[in-house]
């Protein structure tokens, strides 16, 4: 057991014998993993959006500007009970003003308009689209919403769903080729580093062989080195990805998208780290065999 | 200890060893002589598993080298130690680390390694240099480190390729004394050498000669190295 831990430590220590080579390799793995992780995050968020909106259609209902909040609240209370409605978000004129200010990233001062907002009360009504004759049903829903007291305008965009579905189809089609390509790049980078390490330490490894070191004794530290490089690269890439996520998390949470970008779930992060460590081991193994 | 029958070896079209038949008993002391290029190093490298058996049958320390797979050759090398002509020591590491290496790869506990390495270094008058990096040592000292590393594991068979090549007379004789000591403890030893003086020192030892890849029993005048 002590030999095992000794070799484990040896594998990591040996990498630091060529610190520049290690830095370059880690940088390359981090960059490739970051690109792969960003792609995964895109797919993950599109999946979330499609999951939340697939088969649903959103209607935006605008009331006449002079409608009072009391009048409109009565109507809003009844919206959820309408047939096919799954979610309702309402905005008083002041709330709508707040959202508008947010969409300008609060760079425009709208505080002075509070209490006398020119915007009308609005509601975002999300409905489940029936499997058959969706367009006809949507048109009838528009009529029903228009018939509500003091409603001025109703709009909806069924294309939104079609667009999302197309995006997800495209990313799913590209998922394996892109992932495969990125993994091959990582494998080549790690494999070449191990090959260079083998060349630099050829004499030392030859001596180890001649004094009776088993194949496992010689190869295990190199495999540990490969795994460590993959692990470290993946860890750094996830750290960078988290920084990117913090920057763009709320970027699309504005009308009409209302999208909060989610970070990769812990399981995905674990899979990325484990996959890169495994690729590191495999490419080291191939380098050793060659 | 060693049984060889009709072993031949070629490098491309160049014949290095031709139909060699050789037998060495457990505990025997053999000098392998011959001029440069006679095939001594090739012969030793085959015995150590560094070169494959191309033709003939070779059995060393109970291992059939014709069938021994690469992944099990470390077992042969744990029973057969070699002192190389070019030392093959890790020059960037200390004397102690070099001598301890074969014990470390066998997973021997640290306190035993410490004891055995110190004892061997003392017998080779290298104890005061234990913590010196090998690159700071003279050629003769490096050669003694190579010998220390080979004997520290108490091998069944010790192969030494020109082990006194870089040593003066006095150190050569001391080195032979060390080989003799290990021989007394039952280690079989084969030494490839040009040095007549050390052969004369070991008067009872068997001598075989390689000349143009052919092995002869006894010391044969070749007009070359001997």
**Does residue B21 have a pLDDT over 60?**
yes
**Per-residue pLDDT for chain A (290 aa), expressed as one digit of tens each?**
677 787 888 878 877 777 887 888 888 888 888 988 898 888 888 777 766 666 677 889 999 988 888 888 888 888 888 888 888 999 988 888 888 887 777 677 777 777 778 888 999 988 876 656 666 777 888 899 999 999 999 988 666 556 655 666 777 788 888 888 888 888 888 788 777 777 777 888 889 999 999 988 888 888 898 889 889 999 999 999 999 999 888 887 776 667 788 899 999 899 989 988 888 888 888 877 76
Residue spans per domain, chain B: 2-89+154-217
Find the closest chain B residue to A1 by CA distance.
Answer: B107
**CA-nearest residue of chain B to A7?**
B105
Q: Do B105 and A208 touch (CB under 8 A)?
A: yes
> What per-residue confidence (pLDDT) applies to A165?
58
CB-nearest partner of A210 from B88, B106, B107: B88
Q: Is the pLDDT of residue B60 over 90?
A: yes
pLDDT at B223: 43
- Please check whether residue A181 touches B, CB under 8 A: no
Instruction: Decide yes or no: CATH 2.60.40.10 for domain A56-128.
Output: no
pLDDT tens by residue, B81-140: 999 888 889 998 999 999 999 999 998 999 999 999 999 999 888 899 999 999 999 888
Please identify among residues 215-234 of chain A the ones whose CB lies closer than 8 Å to any CB of chain B. 215, 217
Does A210 contact B at CB distance below 8 Å? yes
CB distance B48–A215 less than 8 Å? no
Is A200 at the interface with chain B, CB within 8 A?
no
Quick one: which H or E segment has residue B8? Answer: strand B2-11
User: Which residues in chain B are closer than 8 Å to A210, comparing Cβ atoms?
Assistant: 48, 50, 77, 82, 84, 88
Q: Which of B179, B181, B97, B103 shows the shortest CA–CA distance to B137?
A: B97
A289 interfaces chain B, CB cutoff of 8 Å = no
CB contact under 8 A, B105 and A213: yes
Cis peptide bond prior to A256, omega within 30° of 0:
yes
* Residue B212 to residue A29: CA distance in whole angstroms: 55
Chain B closest CA to A271's CA: distance in Å? 33
Q: Tell me the C-alpha distance between A171 and B169, whole Å.
A: 79
- Span B54-64, mean pLDDT? 93
pLDDT digits (tens, 9 = 90+) for B23-54: 999 889 999 988 888 888 899 999 999 899 99
Q: What is the DSSP string of A139-153?
A: HHHHHHHHTSTTEEE
Cβ pairs A/B, distance under 8 A: 43
CA distance A270 to A102: 35
At CA A163, angle to CA A98 and CA A59, rounded to 5? 45
Task: Return the pLDDT at A257.
Answer: 67
Residue of A211, A214, A216, A220 to mutate for B, most B C-beta atoms under 10 A: A211
Q: How far apart are CA A188 and CA A19, in angstroms?
A: 19
- Chain B residues with CB under 8 Å of A2 CB are 107
Report the pLDDT value the prediction gives residue B193, as an integer from 0 to 100.
86
Query: Confidence band (pLDDT; 50, 70, 90) for B225?
Result: very low
**Does the beta-carbon distance from B107 to A211 stay under 8 Å?**
no
Show me where the domains of chain A are located.
Answer: 2-52+162-289, 56-128
Task: Kindly report the nearest CA distance between residue A11 and chain B, in angstroms.
Answer: 15
Nearest to B149 among A204, A206, A211 (CB): A211
Confidence of residue B224 (pLDDT cuts 50, 70, 90): very low
Inform me whether the C-beta atom of residue A249 falls under 8 Å from chain B C-beta atoms: no
Q: What is d(CA B127, CA B96) in angstroms, rounded to the nearest whole number?
A: 9
Considering only CB atoms, which chain B residues are within 8 Å of A215? Answer: 70-71, 74
Q: Smallest Cβ distance to B90: which of A207, A209, A215?
A: A207
Sign of CA dihedral A89, A95, A98, A103: positive
Q: Is B70 exposed, middle or buried (0-12, 13-18, 19+ CB in 10 A)?
A: exposed
CB A249 within 8 A of CB A261: yes
Q: Which two tokens stand for residue A47?
A: 């999946």
| Residue B202: pLDDT over 90 | no
In chain A, the residue whose alpha carbon lies closest to the alpha carbon of B151 is A211
Tokens of A114: 């509070």
Question: In this complex, which of B50, B75, B105 lies closest to A211 when CB atoms are compared?
Answer: B105
Instruction: Please report the pLDDT score of residue B198 as a whole number.
Output: 80
Nearest-CA distance B183 → chain A (Å): 20
SS3 A10: helix
A225 burial level (CB within 10 Å; 0-12, 13-18, 19+): buried
Q: What is the pLDDT of residues B133-175, one digit of tens each?
A: 999 998 888 888 998 999 999 899 999 998 887 777 887 887 8
Secondary structure of chain A as H, E, C letters: CHHHHHHHHHHHHHHCCCHHHHHHHHHHHHHHHHHHHHHHHHHHHHHHHHHHHCCEEEEEEEECCCCCHHHHHHHHHHHCCCCCEEEEEEECHHHHHHHHHHHCCCCCCCHHHCCCCCCCCEEEEEEECCCCCHHHHHHHHHHHHHCCCCEEEEEECCHHHHHHHHHHHHHHHHHHHHHHHHHHHHHHHHHHHHHHHHHHCHHHHHHHHHCCCCHHHHHHHHHHHHHHHHHHHHHHHHHHHHHHHHHHCCCCCCCCCCCCCCCCCHHHHHHHHHHHHHHHHHHHHHHHHC
Query: What are the phi and psi torsion angles at B187 (to 5°)?
Result: -75, 130
Strand extents, DSSP E, chain A: 56-63, 85-91, 122-128, 151-156
CB B163 within 8 A of CB B175: yes
Residue B134 Cα, gap to closest chain A Cα (Å):
14
Residue A63 CA, chain-centre distance (Å), reads: 36
The CATH number fitting domain B2-89+154-217, selected from 3.90.650.10, 1.10.3720.10, 3.40.50.300, 1.10.357.10? 3.40.50.300
Angstroms from A199 CA to nearest CA on chain B: 15
Question: Measured between alpha carbons, how far is A129 from A85 in angstroms, rounded to an integer?
Answer: 9
- What ipTM was predicted for this assembly? 0.84
């Amino acid at each position: 057991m002590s030999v095992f831990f000794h070799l484990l430590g040896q594998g990591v220590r040996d990498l630091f014998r060529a610190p520049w080579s290690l830095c370059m390799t880690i940088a390359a793995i981090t960059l490739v993993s970051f690109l792969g992780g960003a792609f995964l995050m895109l797919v993950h968020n599109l999946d979330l959006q499609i999951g939340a909106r697939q088969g649903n259609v959103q209607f935006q209902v605008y009331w006449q500007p002079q409608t009072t909040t009391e009048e409109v609240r009565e109507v809003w209370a009844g919206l959820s009970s309408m047939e096919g409605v799954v979610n309702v978000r309402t905005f008083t004129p002041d709330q709508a003003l707040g959202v508008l200010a947010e969409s300008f990233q609060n760079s425009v001062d709208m505080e002075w308009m509070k209490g006398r907002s020119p915007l009308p009360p609005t509601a975002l009504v999300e409905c489940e689209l029936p499997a058959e004759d969706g367009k006809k049903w949507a048109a009838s829903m528009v009529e029903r919403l228009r018939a509500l007291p003091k409603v001025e305008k109703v709009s909806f965009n069924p294309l939104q769903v079609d667009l999302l579905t197309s995006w997800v189809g495209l990313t799913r089609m590209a998922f394996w080729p892109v992932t495969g390509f990125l993994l091959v790049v990582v494998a080549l980078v790690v494999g070449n580093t191990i090959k260079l390490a083998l060349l630099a330490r050829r004499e030392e490894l030859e001596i180890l062989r001649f004094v009776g070191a088993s194949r496992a004794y010689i190869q295990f530290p190199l495999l540990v080195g490969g795994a460590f490089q993959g692990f470290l690269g993946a860890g750094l890439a996830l750290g960078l990805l988290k920084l990117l996520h913090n920057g763009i998390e709320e970027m699309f949470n504005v009308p009409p998208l209302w999208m909060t970008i989610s970070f990769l779930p812990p399981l995905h992060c674990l899979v990325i780290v484990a996959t890169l460590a495994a690729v590191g081991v495999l490419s080291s193994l191939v380098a050793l065999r060659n | 200890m060693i049984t060889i029958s009709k072993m031949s070896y070629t490098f491309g079209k160049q014949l290095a060893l031709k139909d060699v038949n050789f037998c060495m008993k457990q505990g025997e002391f053999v000098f392998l002589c011959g001029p440069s290029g006679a095939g001594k190093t090739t012969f030793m490298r085959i015995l150590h598993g560094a070169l494959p058996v191309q033709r003939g049958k070779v059995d060393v320390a109970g291992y059939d080298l014709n069938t021994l797979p690469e992944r099990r050759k470390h077992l042969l090398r744990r029973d057969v130690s070699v002192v190389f002509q070019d030392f093959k020591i890790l020059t960037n590491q200390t004397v102690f680390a070099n001598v301890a290496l074969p014990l470390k790869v066998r997973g021997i506990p640290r306190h035993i390694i410490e004891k055995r390495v110190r004892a061997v270094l003392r017998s080779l008058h290298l104890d005061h240099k234990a913590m010196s990096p090998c690159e700071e040592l003279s050629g003769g000292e490096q050669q003694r480190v190579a010998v220390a590393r080979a004997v520290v594991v108490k091998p069944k068979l010790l192969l030494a390729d020109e082990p006194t090549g870089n040593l003066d007379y006095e150190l050569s004789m001391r080195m032979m004394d060390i080989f003799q000591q290990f021989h007394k403890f039952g280690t079989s030893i084969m030494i490839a050498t040009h040095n007549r003086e050390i052969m004369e020192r070991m008067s009872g030892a068997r001598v075989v000669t390689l000349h143009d890849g052919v092995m002869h029993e006894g010391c044969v005048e070749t007009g070359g190295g001997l």
